[in-house]
């Protein structure tokens, strides 16, 4: 008997000509070895990267295989340690486990649909150059010298003893210098918000989580855009919320459907990406924004405006929070999409009483956020460096959209919404969940339309990132696999 991590050389290759996806073949292979006793209970499986190297597949394929084994109960995931074969005590707790596992070893079921967690794990492991579905900008577009310079200036000022930034916790509400800079930034978006009504967070996702935990209870209904972001669906569902999907159109949500859902479910909140919506790229019209706020007031629900892509959008685009004056709305944004995914600084703006409640929850859950990162970011904002960087990124995106549009048209695909911002909503004419699995086998990480459906409906649509979809090899591969899927 051997450990799961014993092999060091190349493993027996998987079959790329088989009708079974590579992820399912890999899961089947591990399941057979577990049942044959070649991998002992409690053994650690190879890391995602090591397994991908051994079998000559993409990390996303390994993630999908491990997810299948987790779902079937043959593996367990241990936080920050990896994947392990379930031990004998865990098996003993399930009387029919051995029989079930033996059947699974003979024939694993169809791979489970991609989910938000698997997408994220796969993207963390994948090569950005082969990730047309990536959610961030490529590293070469980011301004590393700007970030390094801001950190040096921040450390230099703190080292002179003029600022205790390095010696104490940060302020619970966030660095005061940053909040002043953010107040000015919001004024440019026509959102009147003094520094006292701002709260810094560990990224925009943290801000959304604080809002959920502060103003919702398990079982509450939340209106969400459909299509929308899979991570938001998963986050709300895991918190025990009931999702009420509102169809998203070119100008915003389908207002007639929204009125009907409000009457049926009495929602407590509506969470929306108002500008450069993910995945369609659309933005709210002024008329739609006005109607949403009227409905929210009449039905007494909160509106949470996620403006994650603010630096990629025109400042004059209508914001719900600007129209509402933060009376019934909460504004959320962050900097990971424009600076770096590693720069986990976000913030929210709300009325004074809501800010007090949110600050209390932040204090008891995380104490404070990083004062050093926040001060460095304040310097980038104050000195105009971030604005100039955003202008360069927008220029690059303009060129990338044009090139991607030409490549898509040459591959007989079309965008169902006008290409804007970072993402395009692409119709390829076949089921994109199946297509995504086939593309994974060829080393391409994509984001199929099913991920952006609150009800996980099959779709011929997929989201592409304009900045990472300019490789003609990807479009050739997509076209070949799509034609194979049609036959």
Strand partners, 201: 346
Q: Is it the case that residue 96 has pLDDT exceeding 60?
A: no
The tens digit of pLDDT for each residue in 17-68 reads 667 788 888 998 898 888 877 777 888 898 988 898 888 888 888 988 998 8
Please give the pLDDT value at position 116: 58
3-state secondary structure the chain: CECCCCCCCCCCCCCCCCCCCHHHHHHHHHHHHHHCCCECCCCECCCHHHHHHHHCCCHHHHHHHHHHHHHCCCEEEECCCEEEECCHHHHHCCCCHHHHHHHHHHCCCCCCCCCHHHHHHHHHHCCHHHCCCCCCCCHHHCCHHHHHHHHHHHHHHHHCCCCHHHCCCCCCCCCHHHHHHHHHHHHHCCCCCCHHHEEEECCHHHHHHHHHHHHCCCCCEEEEEECCCHHHHHHHHHCCCEEEEEEEECCEECHHHHHHHHHHHCCCEEEECCCCCCCCCCCCCHHHHHHHHHHHHHHCCEEEEECCCHHHCCCCCCCHHHHHCCCCEEEEEECCCCCCCCCCCEEEECCHHHHHHHHHHHHHHHCCCCHHHHHHHHHHHHCCHHHHHHHHHHHHHHHHHHHHHHHHHHCCCEECCCCCCCEEEEECCCCHHHHHHHHHHCCCCCEEHHHHCCCCCCCCEEEEEHHHCCCHHHHHHHHHHHHHHHC
Rounded to an integer, the average pLDDT of 334-353 is 94
Please give the pLDDT value at position 175: 95
Domain 144-383 falls in which CATH fold? 3.40.640
Please give the pLDDT value at position 445: 85
Q: Is it the case that residue 238 has pLDDT exceeding 70?
A: yes
Q: Is it the case that residue 233 has pLDDT exceeding 60?
A: yes
The tens digit of pLDDT for each residue in 269-299 reads 999 999 999 999 999 999 999 999 999 999 9
**Predicted confidence band at 124 (pLDDT cuts at 50, 70, 90)?**
low
Please give the pLDDT value at position 380: 94
Residue 45 sits at the vertex; the CA angle it makes with 39 and 47, to the nearest 5 degrees, is 160
Report whether CATH 3.30.465.10 matches the domain 400-486. no
Domain with CATH 3.40.640.10 in the chain: 144-383
Domain with CATH 3.90.1150.10 in the chain: 400-486
Domain with CATH 1.10.10.10 in the chain: 22-112
The tens digit of pLDDT for each residue in 152-199 reads 988 887 666 556 777 778 899 999 999 999 999 999 999 999 999 999
**CATH code linked to domain 22-112:** 1.10.10.10
**Predicted confidence band at 202 (pLDDT cuts at 50, 70, 90)?**
very high
CA gyration radius, the chain? 24
Q: Is it the case that residue 145 has pLDDT exceeding 80?
A: yes
Rounded to an integer, the average pLDDT of 302-306 is 98
pTM of the predicted structure, to 2 decimals: 0.80
Q: Is it the case that residue 217 has pLDDT exceeding 50?
A: yes
């Amino acid at each position: 008997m051997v450990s799961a991590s014993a092999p060091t050389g190349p493993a027996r290759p998987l079959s790329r000509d088989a009708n079974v996806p590579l992820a399912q073949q890999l899961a089947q292979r591990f399941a057979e070895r577990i049942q044959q006793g070649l991998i002992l209970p409690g053994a650690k499986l190879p890391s995602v990267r090591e397994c991908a190297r051994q079998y000559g597949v993409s990390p996303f394929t390994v993630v999908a295989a491990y997810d299948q084994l987790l779902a079937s109960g043959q593996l367990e995931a241990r936080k920050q340690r990896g994947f392990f074969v379930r031990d004998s005590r865990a098996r003993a707790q399930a009387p029919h486990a051995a029989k079930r596992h033996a059947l699974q070893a003979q024939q694993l079921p169809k791979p489970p649909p991609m989910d938000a967690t698997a997408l994220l794990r796969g993207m963390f492991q994948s090569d950005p150059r082969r990730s047309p579905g990536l959610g961030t900008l490529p590293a070469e577009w980011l301004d590393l010298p700007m970030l390094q310079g801001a950190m040096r200036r921040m450390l230099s000022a703190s080292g002179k003893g003029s600022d205790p930034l390095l010696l104490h916790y940060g302020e619970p509400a966030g660095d005061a210098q940053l909040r002043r800079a953010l107040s000015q930034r919001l004024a440019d978006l026509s959102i009147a918000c003094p520094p006292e009504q701002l709260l810094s967070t560990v990224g925009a996702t943290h801000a959304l989580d604080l809002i959920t935990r502060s103003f919702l209870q398990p079982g509450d209904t939340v209106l969400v855009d459909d299509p929308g972001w899979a991570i938001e669906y998963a986050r709300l569902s895991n918190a025990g919320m009931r999702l009420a999907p509102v169809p998203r159109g070119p100008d915003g949500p389908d207002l007639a459907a929204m009125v009907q859902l409000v009457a049926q479910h009495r929602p407590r909140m509506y969470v929306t990406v108002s500008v450069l919506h993910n995945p369609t790229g659309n933005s709210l019209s002024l008329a739609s924004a006005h109607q949403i706020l009227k409905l929210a007031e009449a039905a007494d629900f909160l509106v949470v405006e996620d403006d994650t892509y603010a630096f990629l959008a025109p400042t004059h685009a209508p914001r719900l929070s600007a129209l509402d004056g933060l009376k019934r709305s909460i504004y959320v944004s962050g900097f990971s999409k424009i600076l770096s995914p590693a720069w986990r600084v976000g913030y929210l703006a709300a009325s004074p009483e809501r800010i007090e409640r949110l600050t209390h929850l932040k204090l008891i859950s995380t104490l404070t956020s990083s004062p050093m990162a926040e001060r460095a970011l304040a310097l980038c904002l104050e000195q105009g460096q971030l604005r100039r960087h955003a202008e360069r990124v927008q220029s690059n995106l303009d060129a990338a959209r044009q090139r991607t549009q030409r490549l898509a048209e040459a591959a007989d695909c079309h965008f169902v919404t006008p290409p804007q911002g970072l993402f395009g909503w692409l119709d390829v004419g076949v089921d994109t969940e199946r297509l995504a699995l086939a593309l994974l086998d060829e080393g391409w990480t994509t984001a199929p339309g099913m991920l952006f459906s609150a009800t996980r409906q099959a779709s011929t649509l997929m989201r592409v990132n304009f900045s990472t979809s300019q490789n003609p090899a990807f479009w050739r591969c997509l076209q070949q696999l799509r034609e194979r899927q049609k036959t």
